[in-house]
Amino acid sequence: MLSRVANSMYWLGRYLERAENYARFIDVNFNLMLDLPRDVKEQWKPLIMATGDYEAYIKKYKSFDKNSSIHFLAFDYDNPNSIISSITFARENARITRENLTKETWEKINMAYHFVKKGAEKREWEKEDPRDFFESVKSQILLLYGLADSTVARTEGWYFRQLGQFLERADKTSRILDVKYHVLLPSPKEVGTPLDFLHWIALLKSVTGFNTYRRLYGNINPSGIVEFLVLNKIFPRSVFFCLKEAEICLTKISGSSGPGFRNSAEKAMGELRSNLEYRDVGDIISVGLHEYLNNLQVKLNFISDQVDVNFFKLKDNQQKKFSLQQQNIQG
């Protein structure tokens, strides 16, 4: 597979997952607003911080009100990570690689793009209750996943898209957990109160994990939720599960069949996955959850960089190596 095609498939997976996560976060945060006491400030600022685009937001918007926050996260073309930007980029990557997609998959991506674009024209962010819009965005992307899972051949293109999807999901799960723990509560005195309880429930719902958590762990408590979202081996949105699936995709792409690793991306992925596999939640809490998650995000970014170096810039690296060889011969 050409490196540019592989790159497009990889980013198709990342952009679709990013758009679905943003729609999920906005929807759950809006629901949380309805449950919070009237004297509690709206929790849009922590959500902006969870996306990693806080600096970009404060350069353009004066306050963290509902309309500004939703516009920035969903409809702002100047925000490269907004839903409309992510869907637009996903559609462009899908267009470039249409031979790797089924007709139905391409059509659904196109429909999602026009749906979000129409939402921007209708100024959905100004509506009193925009939840139906974001629920539709989630449903359309999940339908895309279902179509792809049922109709797309398991070629290299499939594994590159899956690799991007799972790395993006791991990153977003870690970010939303970090923000809840680090900045969401207005005061440490609120820990253990009904307000704290509401926030933990909202966090679980943001990853569609509330019912699964209650079945597996029972009572809501911070250490249980940290274990569930970071270390759980069977929940599809836990960081460990995402890394395990991403590693499978990477070995399929590399053609690895035995122990060890064939490139720096596999090495970095295997190190982080094994670290999580044998980690105890008590170890994470003792280190400090924020510090641990911050280090985890750095490692996820490093893995992404190594995927880029090993597969998408391969042609450039080979050309540089060839040029150096020619220089040595001429010397």
As a whole number of angstroms, the distance between CA 198 and CA 205 comes to 10
Neighbours of 86 (CB within 10 A): 27
Q: Residue 305: which residues within 8 A CB-CB, separation 6 or more?
A: none
Mean pLDDT, to the nearest integer, of 162-170? 97
Q: What is the DSSP letter of 104?
A: H
Percent above pLDDT 70 for the chain: 88
> Which residue bears the tokens 């509690």?
40
Confidence of residue 31 (pLDDT cuts 50, 70, 90): confident
Phi, psi (rounded to 5 degrees) for 306: -70, -35
As to burial, measured by CB atoms within 10 angstroms (0-12 exposed, 13-18 middle, 19+ buried), residue 178 is buried
Identify the pLDDT of residue 243.
97
Least confident of 32-46, 85-99, 157-171, 268-282: 32-46
Phi, psi (rounded to 5 degrees) for 271: -65, -45
Tens-digit pLDDT profile for residues 193-212 = 677 778 788 889 888 899 99
Mean pLDDT, to the nearest integer, of 144-163? 92
**Using an 8 Å Cβ cutoff, are 75 and 120 in contact?**
yes
Position 54 pLDDT exceeds 50: yes
Tens-digit pLDDT profile for residues 107-130 = 999 999 999 999 999 999 999 889
Identify the pLDDT of residue 323.
43
Instruction: Write down how long the chain is.
Output: 331
- 142 against 31, higher pLDDT: 142
Q: Residue 111: which residues within 8 A CB-CB, separation 6 or more?
A: 140
* Report for 14-18, 194-198, 221-225, 289-293: range of highest mean pLDDT: 14-18
Tens-digit pLDDT profile for residues 227-261 = 999 999 999 999 999 999 999 999 999 887 767 78
Identify the pLDDT of residue 40.
60
Identify the pLDDT of residue 326.
40
Helices in 36-155 by DSSP H: which ranges?
44-51, 54-60, 66-70, 83-96, 103-121, 131-151
Helices in 180-313 by DSSP H: which ranges?
194-206, 210-217, 222-226, 239-254, 264-277, 281-287, 289-307
- 38 against 53, higher pLDDT: 53
Mean pLDDT, to the nearest integer, of 93-119? 93
Tens-digit pLDDT profile for residues 272-327 = 999 999 999 999 988 888 889 999 999 999 999 999 999 998 655 444 443 434 44
Mean pLDDT, to the nearest integer, of 137-149? 93
As a whole number of angstroms, the distance between CA 84 and CA 81 comes to 8
The whole-chain average pLDDT of the chain stands at 87
Identify the pLDDT of residue 233.
96
Does the model's pTM come out above 0.85? yes
Q: Which structure tokens are listed for 207?
A: 């990853």
Q: Which structure tokens are listed for 195?
A: 């307000």
Identify the pLDDT of residue 43.
76
- CA-closest candidate to residue 175, choices 20, 47, 16, 45: 47
Least confident of 45-54, 97-106, 140-149: 45-54
Measured CA distances, 263 to 266, 305, 307, 309, 317 (Å): 6, 12, 9, 10, 14
Confidence of residue 328 (pLDDT cuts 50, 70, 90): very low
Percent above pLDDT 90 for the chain: 61
Position 38 pLDDT exceeds 80: no
